Structures are given as C-alpha cells and as structure tokens.
C-alpha cells in the first residue's frame, strides 16, 4: 500500500480563494481592509523566510501589511512599546511577534502585551484559555491548519485515537485541545507523548491519526505507524542547503518509508507549513470583522 498524499499546498490554495472573496466583499460592502503587523527581532534566516512568506501572502490577498524588522539587540521595553503602538493602530487588525525571541527578551511578557482582540497567533493566555474551555477565540495557526487539513481531506476525528508527539505551547498542547473538543464535533481521544514518555512507539502504533511535532528529522519511522493511519508531519527541519543556497527541509517523519505503511500522509514541504500561513490570513480577516462588529 502506498499512502494518499494530503497536499497542504492545494488545500491552502482553496482556503486562499475563499478568503480572497471574503476580503473583496469586506472592502466593497464595508470599506474595510484587514491589516497584519509582523515583528521580527534579530536576523535568523529561517524566521526571516517565514515572515517574508506571511507578508507575501498578505499582498496576494489584499491584506494590508506592516513588517517591523528589529535588530537582535532591541530592548524588551522598546518591543513592548511597539506592540502598544500597534494595539492602538486602527489600520492593524492582527499582530504577530515571531518566536523565538532573543534570550534577553521575556517572551511571555511580550505575548500578554498583545491585545487579545488582535492576537491572530492565538498565543495570548486569554486566547489559550478560551480555546481550552471551548469558547470562540483565535486558534493558533498551525493547530487550526491541521484541523482544516483533516476536515477537508475527509479524515474522521470523532472517536478516533489521535497520538501527538511533542508538547509545545505552539503545536502539541493546542492541537490536543482542539481535537478533543466537542465543539465542531472533533471528539478525538488524544494522547500526548514527549521526551519523558516510556515507549513512545507503543503509543504511536495505536494512533489512527499520528501528529509529529518534535523538531527532530525523521523521528517517526515506519515501525511506529499503524497500517492505514493518517500521519501529519509538523516538522520543518533544515538538513542542508542546495548548491544555490536554498534550504533543504525534512519533516519529523521518515516520509519515504512511512508512506508505504500509512493510509494518508502530509509532505514537507507542502503540507502543514502552507496551512499555517493561510490560517494566519484567516485569523486576520476574522480580527478585522470582529473589530467592526461584523460576524
């Protein structure tokens, strides 16, 4: 058997088309242009490349965007002051501060400084809290993208065994919460594995849906996957550069071998990554509507 490839790139393309229509309507009927502000501190090339993709995605959809690249030596107080300015800027519907931040800046302080109404990343404790108790909120983009991938590929989560490897605040924990939620009928039975889990493979082999968000190239091998399972690969590990200096990416899943066992699998690149970006656009549109009382 060889797995069906779930193309995040294709599904993200369809969501982009839906958003384009919605954005054009907002402009025509209400004179509203959604706006996204991105802040990046320091010069990490991977972070710069993600932020560039976000800015490009905004331009393609008709979302106003402001990027603030700041030097790595930026003071925490200056970053907080910029967030505050953007909180008050009526052109800006959503604010994204790229993480990780340099060591001298307290990430949690910066994330709580973002107004929850503009928290399109869904990292503010208020957004996280609302998500956990199933209230309407901004869902963080990678977990929301995974949910859309499953929904739009016809993969049933209700009653399914979902096993997540990785317990980060930006992927593992939120995706677990979203998929176990009764709201929208997600209703999965969720297990989270991490570095202290005894016998990770014993858990992953039970998964109907296996989500790999570890940050280690090819961590999930074929023997860890139940035949026919759906495998979602959240990893974006840089394993080298081409002769032209382009990054070579590899997921957390040993794709070539796992695809012979799995029923469906997401590739890297072209899987979860493009979904993350399009869900950020969706959250920005949602923030603009909320700010203007349009539902």
Ligand X SMILES: Nc1nc(=O)c2c([nH]1)NC[C@@H]1CN(c3ccc(C(=O)N[C@@H](CCC(=O)O)C(=O)O)cc3)C=[N+]21
- In the complex, which residues of this chain contact ligand X (CB under 6 A)? 49-50, 53, 96-99, 121, 141, 236, 247, 249, 268-270, 273-274, 276-277
CB closer to ligand X, 160 vs 283: 283
Check whether 168 is labelled as a binding-site residue: yes
Residues ≥6 apart with Cβ < 8 Å to 243: none
CB closer to ligand X, 65 vs 160: 65
Alpha-carbon dihedral sign for residues 81, 285, 51, 91: negative
Q: Which among 212, 149, 214 has a CA at the least distance from the CA of 186?
A: 149
Check whether 166 is labelled as a binding-site residue: yes
Alpha-carbon dihedral sign for residues 8, 267, 180, 287: negative
The nearest distance, CB 3 to ligand X, in angstroms, is 18
CA distance 124 to 115: 8
- Chain residue at closest Cβ approach to ligand X: 273
- Let me know: does 216 contact 237? Beta carbons within 8 Å: yes
The nearest distance, CB 171 to ligand X, in angstroms, is 9
Q: Cα Rg for the chain, rounded, in angstroms?
A: 19
The residues carrying an active-site annotation are: 54, 98, 121
User: What DSSP letter does each residue of 61-99 carry, written as one string?
Assistant: HT-EEEEEEE-TT--HHHHHHHHHHHHT-TT-SEEEE-S
CB closer to ligand X, 32 vs 277: 277
Alpha-carbon dihedral sign for residues 5, 11, 13, 14: positive
- Let me know: does 119 contact 63? Beta carbons within 8 Å: no
Question: 3-state DSSP helix/strand/coil percent for the chain, to nearest 5?
Answer: 45, 15, 40
Annotated binding-site ranges? 166-168, 236
């Amino acid at each position: 058997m060889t797995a069906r490839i779930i193309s995040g790139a294709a599904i993200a393309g369809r969501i982009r088309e839906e958003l384009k229509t919605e954005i054009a309507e907002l402009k025509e009927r209400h004179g509203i242009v959604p706006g996204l502000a991105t802040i990046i501190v320091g010069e990490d090339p991977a972070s710069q490349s993600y932020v560039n993709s976000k800015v490009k995605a905004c331009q393609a959809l008709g979302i106003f965007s402001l990027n603030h690249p700041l030097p790595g030596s930026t003071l925490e107080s200056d970053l907080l002051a910029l967030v505050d300015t953007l909180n008050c800027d009526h052109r800006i519907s959503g604010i994204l501060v790229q993480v990780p931040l340099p060591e001298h800046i307290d990430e949690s302080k910066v994330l709580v400084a973002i107004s929850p109404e503009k928290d399109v990343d869904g990292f503010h404790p208020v957004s996280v809290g609302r998500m956990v108790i199933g209230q309407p909120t901004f869902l963080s983009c990678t977990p929301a993208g995974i949910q859309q991938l499953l929904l739009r590929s016809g993969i049933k989560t209700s009653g399914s065994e979902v096993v997540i490897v990785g317990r980060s605040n930006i992927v593992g924990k939120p995706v677990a919460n979203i998929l176990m939620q009764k709201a929208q009928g997600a209703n999965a039975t969720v297990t989270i594995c991490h570095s202290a889990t005894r016998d990770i493979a014993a858990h992953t082999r039970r998964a109907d849906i296996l989500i790999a968000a570890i940050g280690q190239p090819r961590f999930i091998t074929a023997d860890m996957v139940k035949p026919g399972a759906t495998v979602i690969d959240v990893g974006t590990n840089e394993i080298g550069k081409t002769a032209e200096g382009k990054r070579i990416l590899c997921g957390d899943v040993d794709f070539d071998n796992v695809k012979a066992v799995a029923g469906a699998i997401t590739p890297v690149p072209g899987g979860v990554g493009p979904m993350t970006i399009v869900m950020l656009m969706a959250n920005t549109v949602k923030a603009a509507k909320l700010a203007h009382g349009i539902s």
